[in-house]
Amino acid sequence: MKIAYTTTFNTKDVTYWSGTPFYMSKALENQNDVQYIGSLERKLPRFFWIKRAWKRIVSGQRECSEFNIAVAQYYSQQADGALKNKSFDVIVSPLIHPICYLKSKAPIVLWTDGLYAGFLGFYPEFSRHSTRSIAEGNAITKECLSRCSLAIFSSDWAARTAIEVYGVNKDIVKVVPYGANIDNPPTRQEVDLFLKNRSRKTVNLLFMGKPWNRKGGDVVFRVVHALHALGQSVELHVVGCYPPDMKNMPDFIKCHGFISKNTPAGVQAINALLAQAHFLFVPSRAEAFGLVFCEANAFGVPCLTTHIGGIPTIVKDNINGMTFELDADASTYCDYIIDLMKHYDRYEAMAMRAFHEFETRLNWTVATREVCSLIEKMDHNKKGTT
């Protein structure tokens, strides 16, 4: 199958979007002939920045440069130019912007983690959009979805947004979770060894995330302190950021700051932290998907998180972790953790189920194989009706 993989940015830049488009396209390339469309130039309307500043001063609202019809039209115009006089079986994009105004006759497939209406008011950066930005964001999204032969989402949450908010035909909406962004995932034998080396007395928790508040870092701290107060030996490793208050940090909390995955030393450090962790503990307040949960499962690490956004598509309760309500108190988390540490055979079984979820569902090879199958069925059905 010949695929035009269409983005606004350089897909081979592994730093963009946590590397998701890179790993997605790389896995597609292992099974198909993939041609890349992008990077594309962003062209804002005249006086955009002046209007944006004025809007912020007058009303405190934000004009969004990303969800702007003129910008989206220019992206699609460039993509059309790159696609001209070329033959592809399908156009695939991980985001709406380069495909929402495409004129190409090739079938279009969107495979993304969420839509504008789902992000609005959910993520902090989508909380103060102007009336105009909201109207244009929804208009762009509708235009994109109207052109899609398939609208594939990484979670049930995003798929519901497409159907319930944008009225997309259920027949073209599919859910295929993303895979872990890992180059050389552990083998089952290595995961067995990780489990044998994990402490049976001290529970090792790992928090990974850049935005402290959105990822629930404050909740993690409350739970860890509560565990310690209850007499449970505990150790917390914080990766991706530093807590707002670093004063009087107890010995059982280790803060590593940002660790880059783009260096061998960084990858080695993150892998070592995952290998020794009992749980990945990221109780997010907003999350469209959460690739870090897939990556933790690859190391046989169950996840403790919240029942929000796209997370429940990844984390299945008592299978590869546990999701809690946003308002769950520290004692609820503590009871769950302590119970599993007391019945360690149940913890070990959950850890191996987590690895099984990665092997069978949460990796890019499986994900892209399913997407390619959906595309082929789409093409077959189309031929059958002509």
pLDDT-derived band at 330 (thresholds 50, 70, 90) equals very high
**310 and 288 Cβ atoms separated by less than 8 Å:** yes
Mean pLDDT of 106-126: 95
Any idea where the domains of the chain sit in the sequence?
Answer: 2-179+364-384, 188-360
Q: What is the per-residue burial (b if ≥16 Cβ within 10 Å, else e) of 179-213?
A: bbbbeebbeeeebbebbeebeeeebbbbbbbebbe
Q: Which helix (H) or strand (E) holds 304?
A: strand 303-306
Per-residue pLDDT, 385: 34
Residue 353 reports pLDDT greater than 90: yes
Mean pLDDT of 11-31: 92
Per-residue pLDDT, 380: 54
Per-residue pLDDT, 384: 38
In whole angstroms, give the CA distance from residue 300 to residue 296. 7
Percent of the chain with pLDDT over 70: 98
Per-residue pLDDT, 191: 98
pLDDT-derived band at 382 (thresholds 50, 70, 90) equals low
Residue 13 reports pLDDT greater than 90: no
Mean pLDDT of 100-105: 92
Tell me the per-residue pLDDT of 244-260, one tens digit each, with 9 for 90 and over: 988 889 999 999 999 99
Please provide residue 33's backbone torsions phi and psi, each rounded to the nearest 5 degrees: -90, 110
Superfamily of chain region 2-179+364-384: Glycogen Phosphorylase B; (3.40.50.2000)
Superfamily of chain region 188-360: Glycogen Phosphorylase B; (3.40.50.2000)
Radius of gyration of the chain (CA): 22
Per-residue pLDDT, 104: 87
Confidence (pTM): 0.94
pLDDT-derived band at 52 (thresholds 50, 70, 90) equals confident
Higher pLDDT, 262 or 269: 269
Residue 20 reports pLDDT greater than 60: yes
Domains 2-179+364-384 and 188-360 share a fold: yes
